[in-house]
Structure 1
Amino acid sequence: MCIVLITTAHPKYALVAIDNRDEYILRPTSRPHWWTAEPESYRAPNGSGNGVNGSAKRHSQGLIEILSSRDLQRAERGTWLGITKGGNFAVLTNYRETDTNNAANPVCGTRSRGGMVTAWLRADPAESTEHFVHRMLEDGGVKGVGGFSLICGKLRKVPGENNIEPLAIISNRCDHAGQVPWICGQRGSVYGLSNAIYLENGDESESSLWPKIRNGKAMLSHAVSRAADEQELVTSLFEILDTDSFPSDHTIDLEEGIPLLKNSIFIPAFGGKEHQQEMCEAQHRGNLKETDHNSPAAETLTIAAPPDEQLNGFQTGLYGTQRQTVILVDWEGNVTYTERALWDDNGNPIPRGHGDETFRFKIEGWEQEVESPK
């Protein structure tokens, strides 16, 4: 079960975000890279200033530049986390269904959850976060998708203030846009999201939070309070993401391990005999191919088999933390984006740091005012 921890409490950085992607280790996934997409047209609301008489508008400044890894298993080529040159940011966690027989809320939908992230990353830069929230929840944009929570918004400094624009948390397990929480609009806050509905402060007690969220928030608060230099901060953030409270027996079945995932920030690769065997077979095939698992994204979007038909497909091999990401955004709008791969595409472990890729860029329009949520 993935975890996202975000804070606005660091004195040097407007935003610090860290994320563990927990997934089947063999699920084919690209390395992070820049890619481009045509902006999606949207219907601007009357009187919003984003369009004329509610007509469909298209961004006129060319392709959108997006930084993310991409899921190679499903045709949507979605992602769990990404950011654009213009500052559109999104990160997703699955919602853990407790009733697997509820047809209205399927565990797996006909559409990829990763497509929800790219829907915001590919949105017309003129579209406000608030408009996107209404479009997704009230115009059917989240239908046919398994349960999820999506943190999304525009990374922007509020002109004349020491704050950034707030981010929304969309879930297709809430009823309407009025239930959407808004976070990160105030300094000094720490937020955590995993595989349950996010509840705003006051709606639930700290003791009722999952242990991984409670512990992660406490450790993140401690890390940013030290106001370390960038390298020391990044090291401490990865140490948080490596915090392992999982049982020492990693050969337990997935069904037995699922309830334990709420306790540990880091999930070591685990699974029963069948999944252990699948992992060994994948590693053996990789050894025969003499694959260099440290080569950067030669794996980007070139795959031998179509999505959903690949040998190392979804729900094969062991399950655990597959990727880790640390994102820093300073007060000048400079982004440091580091993603750490822990496994190669054949299921071989990658030593810590050997699978790191770091990108640095400045958000375009960092101090440009955007529409605030009502």
Structure 2
Amino acid sequence: MCIALLTTSHPKYALIAIDNRDEYILRPTSKPHWWTTLASSASSSNPVEVEVLSSRDLQRAEHGAWLGITKGGNFAVLTNYRETSNHDAAHPVHGKRSRGGIVTAWLAADPQESTESFTRRMVESGDVKGVGGFSLICGKLRKQKGAQRLEPLAILSNRHDHKDHIPWICGKRGNVYGLSNATYIRNVDDEPLWPKVQKGSEALAQTITRAVEKDVSEQELQDALFKILDTNDFPSNHNMDLEEGIPFLKHTIFVPAFGGAEHQREMQEARVSDKPELTEDGPAGEELPGQPDMSVSGYQTGLYGTQRQTLVLVDWDGNVSYTERALWDSNGNAIPRGQGDVKFNFKIEGWNSDEERELESHL
């Protein structure tokens, strides 16, 4: 069960976001790469080409993502909502449409569309329906004019029935935010945070404080952030079935690969299959068609655990450092820490806002 942690506490960075993608290890997933898409423009009859940086899910036909950013600063990260019933038609565990398509809907949106317009459109049009439960942190990474602040990010969810229910975060300095597989908690007095979110938020706050006090390098900071994502409080028994392990997933930031006898067998078969490594498009650079995954249980092959880890650091000049760490190859073989890292550095186009935005009411 994934976790996303964000902070505006470091004086050198407008935003730091870290994320664990927890998934079936063998689920076909591309490496992170730049890809282009055409977005409809509200101001022109000609579509606009958008450049997106993300990994992509190759299991579903949509080839969606769980985290990504565009050259223009559209940023999104998604976590699933853990449904407790397979019989709630209004909130399916697995929908006809991929959750990853919700991420790419924002990444591939008209660059001129505001975050507020997008979230309102998604809620009012019903485009958030027909997918499994999710929470999407999304927004434009922009420095507010005349202020050392980031424009706020929204948390869109298909648990929201009205745009006014959408929380806004990251518009103030000095804060830490955490989201896992439950509704985002604005006020900790409303209901208890998941233990992993509480532990992760506290660890991120402490890490930033130490990094500032010691004036560590960006590489040292990244090493410390990966250490948070590696926090493992899972039981030592990794042979339990998924249903048996689910209660522990609320407590551990990092999920070691685990599964019962059948899933262990599937993992072993994959390790000796010698299938080619996946690229951004598929094996050997050939397009891998998405496989519609419509079963109630979804993709459940091999062991389950933390598959990818991602760091996104954005400084006050709009420079982005994007690092994604693969922990497993396509055949289910463990990759030593750091050897599966893919890194990108670029500058956000249009980083400085052209005008003040009236978003104070969302903070």
Regarding TM over 0.5, the answer is: yes
Structure 2 residues not aligned, in runs of 5+: none
The yes-or-no answer on 1:213 pairing with 2:194 is no
Cα distance, 1:305–1:13 mapped onto 2, change above 3 Å = closer
Question: d(CA) in 1 for partners of 2:203 and 2:189?
Answer: 22
C-alpha distance in structure 1 between counterparts of 2:40 and 2:307, whole Å = 30
**Residue deviations 1:229-275, cap 9 Å, x none?**
10100000000000000000000010000111000000000000000
Native 8 Å contact 1:283 1:348 kept in 2: yes
State the alpha-carbon separation in 2 of the partners of residues 137 and 7 from structure 1.
26
C-alpha RMSD of the superposition: 1.9
Residues 337-348 of structure 1 correspond to what in structure 2 (within 5 A)? 337-348=322-333
Counterpart-to-counterpart distance in 1, 2:36 and 2:45: 14
- Is 1:222 paired with 2:206? yes
Work out whether 1:354 is the aligned partner of 2:339. Answer: yes
Aligned 1:1-374 pairs, distance under 5 A: 1-41=1-41, 56-58=42-44, 62-201=48-187, 204=190, 208-225=192-209, 226-227=211-212, 228-286=216-274, 289=275, 291=276, 297=280, 299=282, 302-303=286-287, 306-308=290-292, 314-369=299-354, 371-373=357-359
- When residues 198 and 121 of structure 1 are mapped into structure 2, their CA distance, relative to the original with a 3 A threshold, is same
Residues 130/346 of structure 1: CA separation in 2 closer, same or farther (3 Å cut): same
Contact 1:339–1:357 (8 Å) recurs in 2: yes
By how many angstroms is 1:99 displaced? Answer: 2.2
Q: Which amino acid aligns with 2:250?
A: K
Q: In 2, are the aligned partners of 1:169 and 1:182 still within 8 Å (CA)?
A: yes
With over 3 angstroms needed to count, the CA separation of the structure-2 counterparts of 1:302 and 1:58, relative to structure 1, is farther
Query: 1:98: Cα distance to partner?
Result: 1.6
**Any idea what SS the aligned residue of 2:322 has?**
strand
Contact 1:341 1:355 in 2 (8 A): yes
Q: Deviations over 1:30-62 (max 9, x none)?
A: 000000000134xxxxxxxxxxxxxx5448684
The alpha-carbon deviation at position 303 of structure 1 amounts to 4.8
Equivalent residue of 2:203, what SS? helix
Does the 8 Å CA contact 1:130/1:372 hold for their aligned counterparts? no
Q: What secondary structure is seen at the aligned counterpart in 1 of 2:17?
A: strand
Q: Distance in 2 between matches of 1:88 and 1:71?
A: 19
Structure 1 vs Structure 2: percent identity of aligned residues? 63
Please give the alpha-carbon distance, in whole angstroms, between the structure 2 residues aligned to 1:182 and 1:5.
15
The 3 A distance-change label for structure 1 pair 369 and 239 is: same
Opposite residue 130 of structure 1, the aligned amino acid is E
Question: What TM-score, normalized by structure 2, do the two folds share?
Answer: 0.92
Equivalent residue of 1:251, what SS?
A: coil
* Structure 1 residues 303 and 249: alpha-carbon distance in aligned structure 2, compared to 1, 3 A threshold: farther
Question: Contact 1:14–1:330 (CA<8 Å) still a contact in 2?
Answer: yes
Q: Is the 8 A contact 1:90 1:121 kept in 2?
A: yes
In 1, Cα distance between equivalents of 2:249 and 2:44: 43
- What SS does structure 1 have at the residue aligned with 2:244? helix
Quote the Cα distance in structure 2 between the aligned partners of 1:131 and 1:304: 34
Deviations 1:109-144 (A, max 9, x none): 000000000000000011000000110001111121
Q: Which residue of 2 aligns with 1:48?
A: none
CA distance, structure 1, for counterparts of residue 120 and residue 14 of structure 2: 26
Evaluate the alpha carbon distance shift between residue 87 and residue 306 of structure 1 in structure 2; reply closer, same or farther with a 3 A threshold. Answer: closer
Contact residue 31 and residue 299 of structure 1 kept, 8 A: no
CA pair 104-142 structure 1, distance change in 2 beyond 3 A:
same
Cα distance 1:74–1:98, how it changes in 2: closer, same or farther (>3 A)? same
Classify the secondary structure of the residue corresponding to 1:344. coil
What TM-score comes out, normalization by structure 1 length?
A: 0.89
- The answer to whether the 8 A contact 1:220-1:237 is kept is yes
Counterpart AA for 2:260: G
2: distance between equivalents of 1:334 and 1:245? 34
Counterpart residue identity of residue 193, structure 2: L
1:280 aligned partner, one-letter code: Q
